[in-house]
Amino acid sequence: MRELSIPLFSIGFLSTLNSGVGTIASPFWGALSDELKSRKKLLLILLSISAVLLPLYPLARRSYHFFLIGAVFTFLSSVFEPVCTAMLIDSSPRKTNLALTQMNVFNSLGLGLGRILLSPLLNVLSVSWAMSSLYLLSLLVILFVFLAPDIEHKRYEIVRTNLQRIFSALTAKKILKKNNLWAMYLGSFLRQFGIGGTFALIAVYLTENVGLTRGQTVLLASANPFLQIPSHIIFGWLVGKISAKMVAVSGMLLSGFGSMLFAVSGDYRVVLMAYAVSGMGFGAFINGATNYVSQNVPENRRAEFLGLLTSARSFGSLFGPIVAGFLAEISFVFMFVFMGVAMLFGGFLTWVYCQR
């Protein structure tokens, strides 16, 4: 988008639009999969359709092209996180915290290897051709979903309208009040607000303000997912030793400090440290938050409330990039500090209100 001279606000708005669609889609698909007999069929159908849309991104030339493709693709692909997580918990013979740790490790490994692969591709290919190359690789996910077992689960027997599925939180106040579960969702929203704002324009900041090349920018960004891997292992283990709440809180605080480091980054070493701290923060947050939600919701509504967690995060990413776009026009440093403070505040609220 930057190569096409599209304004910063529009670049940030794409993240906002995708997050807004994800906010609606994640709880909807999660709730629907709880009611259906087969989670796998729903996952396979929607991912297959979304795979048809993904190669349209390199063909986009105007802002509204990106907005239209992003909105439809995000709506369909939002099925992946809540449904896959629920399938893993349903099928794994291991404890929930260990199963989620395993899943999160492979997620982060994929992100890291993708960026390692992308860095040399950008040195020899245009952005469009690099995107097309990775698209071909991403098609393998459909094969693996097809090969996955179709796991039986405890179905939610009450039939709901689509609006009730989308806004499931409004019909589940009793569950959200248990152990102040609502505070975990609020903290997750604030953390994602800060992360969404921090990373919405990070590539522009690092190339135009810090002076890194595109290849260097992508390579340094790989530190984030690679540091998530030991973080998943450490904090996934800690969930079984201390409360999931405190693990999630530590992740929110680390994420906030990571954004603060971007504010003072003058060379690649500080940028590398900021990515590393943010990566450790994500590993702690996602393991703590996912386990806390799983522990405090009915088993037959697990995908719904995991989808709601994804929705709360998407809701944060809805507003974070918009605010970041305005603040970056004033000062990137102020923007990073603002986002860091938002995440620290989210951690404080979660620590005070969530019960063990």
Domain ranges of the chain: 8-353
Is 322 in a helix, a strand, or coil? helix
The pTM assigned to this predicted structure is: 0.76
What integer pLDDT is reported at residue 252 of this predicted model? Answer: 96
Question: How many CA within 13 A on the CB side of residue 236?
Answer: 20
Q: Measuring CA to CA, which residue among 35, 3, 19 is closest to residue 75?
A: 19
Residues whose CB is less than 8 angstroms from the CB of residue 142 and which lie 6 or more positions away in sequence, other chains included: 44, 47, 48, 51
**Class of the domain covering 8-353:** mainly alpha
Helix H or strand E segment including 331: none
Q: Are 96 and 49 a contacting pair, CB within 8 Å?
A: no
Helix (H) or strand (E) holding 301: none
Q: What is the pLDDT of residues 291-341, one digit of tens each?
A: 999 888 888 888 888 888 888 888 888 788 888 888 888 888 899 999 999
Only one residue has tokens 């971007």, namely: 262
Ranges of residues in the chain whose predicted pLDDT is under 70: 169-171, 266, 356
Residue 211's SS3 state is coil
The per-residue pLDDT for 127 is 82
Amino acid, single-letter form, for residue 202: I
User: 191 and 252 in contact (C-beta within 8 Å)?
Assistant: yes
Helix ranges (H only) for the chain are: 8-35, 39-53, 63-77, 80-91, 96-124, 127-138, 140-147, 162-166, 173-177, 181-200, 202-205, 214-221, 223-239, 244-263, 268-295, 302-330, 332-353
Q: Residue 356's pLDDT is what?
A: 67
C-alpha separations of 330 from 44, 333, 336 in Å: 45, 9, 12
Supply the pLDDT for residue 110.
Answer: 85
